[in-house]
Structure 1
């Protein structure tokens, strides 16, 4: 085990977060802290009054359906991860009433070694319509908000195949980010079993074992970190790795995921990655090199447009993107798979 120096701070965005300014930020492809972005939300105001007040605010309307929750045992220190031999996860899943979960959250505040408790990624409009109406992010009016509720918990560094704005409502949260090119230094876990949807880093950032994961020291040199107060938000670019620590016994976050610049009907890049692993990874090296060249030519266009020499009517699936074209390609894939 070793202790690494603190990472550099995630830059604060300066000035009003107008749609034009936010578009310019996105083009830079870098994360940013948006201080006070949602400080005027009623929910943030209630959270600043106290834990009981924000929970009372959330339970004033009847929740129409059960919510999913997860919990670790005491002794896990709130880290949602794998068990010791990576044969399963170290937490259990269940469903129940949000009101009961929030009551348990308040009870756990005074426990010396509380279990980690979390409700994750619930669609707010479906469970708390009034909350959704009263706490809106005008910057992303068409993106459905999702809520994350828990105590002092830790989520391993992982990536989302989306852009993300995460808004801190109650309790402080520490975000540690790594750029996508650090994937090899973050030692991703398995695809089949993961605590966070996509593979997570197997390294504990709070206690990295550099004897086992030596390249993590290189990843740490690229890490950026910030603590969000209630009312603050963070912009996380597409596929940036992020680990999240909730620092208070009652912690609430609202986030917005979106992909608005991908052509309509496009196939899923993550699905294609899984197919590529199945198709290429176990070929002999000479054949893998052949297909690497094919991908560079047709997909990543290292030599420019691969169909530039063809007349428009003959470009086929290499033509301009449009829904009919993607439907045709997906049909070809389904046919090839039988």
Structure 2
């Protein structure tokens, strides 16, 4: 079953170069379909010939290194998620090789209701070295390596990544439903501590939303946009945009690139959890006081903090040196240990 489609469609670009991507698309921090970006890849051309031709192409780079893959029974209809009691997940994970999983996917294509199978985030340098040289990124440097996502008709629940992302459809159609970060509260996010596959996910089924249980999702849907990719197309997903991903065909290959140009001293998610521990349950008047403090010292609502102090006395109000950052982490470690 394919997902419903929002009214808003992601903006499209053609003939994108590395320069236009860096100057026009990336700074806008909005999703963008890059039509035909990788249409000349040998992998895409092989996939247009047949799934067998593409598996032969991929198999030529397979080192036999172990990779993990997930498999869900037919009754979940490709939806990788929690089990009904949220005590675990509705799929199993096992270890195999890329070649063996490709063989299984080819064998399942003839079944009316096959299990959902997915190799997710397979790192090219370890598992398929040489794939990137044969199928080079037209927009990013060699320091950003690709990951491969290979499976059949499967659904990944709405989640976000703390990276910028370019996702390239190699074989099979993909539908992305995207939600801006300001819709987080309307997406009913699941536990941070126990997730199906890494990042927190929305508890709302985009395919069959229950608005009685999740009424605020209607506002998220009004802000959502859809990006449908054909083989050879790519999608730019900006940092922290929520996205629901559905593979629409029985054999699907996607290549993605994650990168983050920001220089971070600590993880933002960990910082938020620390703030939850220290601030969320304070009385309302105290929370508002800390909101003002965060605006002044974290988000810099007005002038940058610390500018009135001598540079060598600004501490965490100034630009953190490696030594100052290490000292700040030691302070945090002591407070968390109490």
Q: Give TM class, smaller chain.
A: over 0.9
> What's the counterpart of residue 63 of structure 1?
63
Aligned length: 334
Q: Distance in 1 between matches of 2:14 and 2:145?
A: 26
Kindly indicate whether residue 166 of structure 2 is the aligned counterpart of residue 165 of structure 1.
yes
> What's the counterpart of residue 43 of structure 2?
43
> What's the counterpart of residue 267 of structure 1?
266
Q: Distance in 1 between matches of 2:334 and 2:85?
A: 40
Secondary structure in 2 matching 1:129: coil
Q: What is the correspondence of 1:185-334 to structure 2 with a 5 Å cutoff?
A: 185-260=186-261, 262-263=262-263, 266-334=265-333
Report the CA distance between 1:19 and its aligned residue: 2.3
User: Aligned pair in 2 of structure 1 residues 5, 249: CA closer, same or farther (>3 Å)?
Assistant: closer
Kindly indicate whether residue 137 of structure 2 is the aligned counterpart of residue 140 of structure 1.
no
Q: Distance in 2 between matches of 1:235 and 1:106?
A: 29
Runs of 4+ in 1 over 4 A off after TM superposition: none
Q: Distance in 2 between matches of 1:235 and 1:250?
A: 22
- Maintained 8 Å contact 2:161/2:240: yes
- Maintained 8 Å contact 2:188/2:202: yes
Report the CA distance between 1:217 and its aligned residue: 1.0
- CA RMSD of the aligned region, Å? 1.7
Deviations 1:68-127 (A, max 9, x none): 000111111100011112221111111112211111101111111111100000111211
Q: TM-score, normalised by structure 1?
A: 0.94
Secondary structure in 2 matching 1:83: coil
Q: TM-score, normalised by structure 2?
A: 0.94
User: Aligned pair in 2 of structure 1 residues 226, 96: CA closer, same or farther (>3 Å)?
Assistant: same
- Maintained 8 Å contact 2:64/2:99: no
Q: Distance in 2 between matches of 1:300 and 1:22?
A: 25
Q: Which runs of 5+ in 1 are unaligned?
A: none
Deviations 1:120-172 (A, max 9, x none): 00111211112122111032111011110110000111110110000011111
Deviations 1:220-271 (A, max 9, x none): 11111021111110000110000000011110011000111x22x5211111
Report the CA distance between 1:201 and its aligned residue: 0.9
- Maintained 8 Å contact 1:71/1:115: yes
Q: Which runs of 5+ in 2 are unaligned?
A: none
Report the CA distance between 1:314 and its aligned residue: 1.5
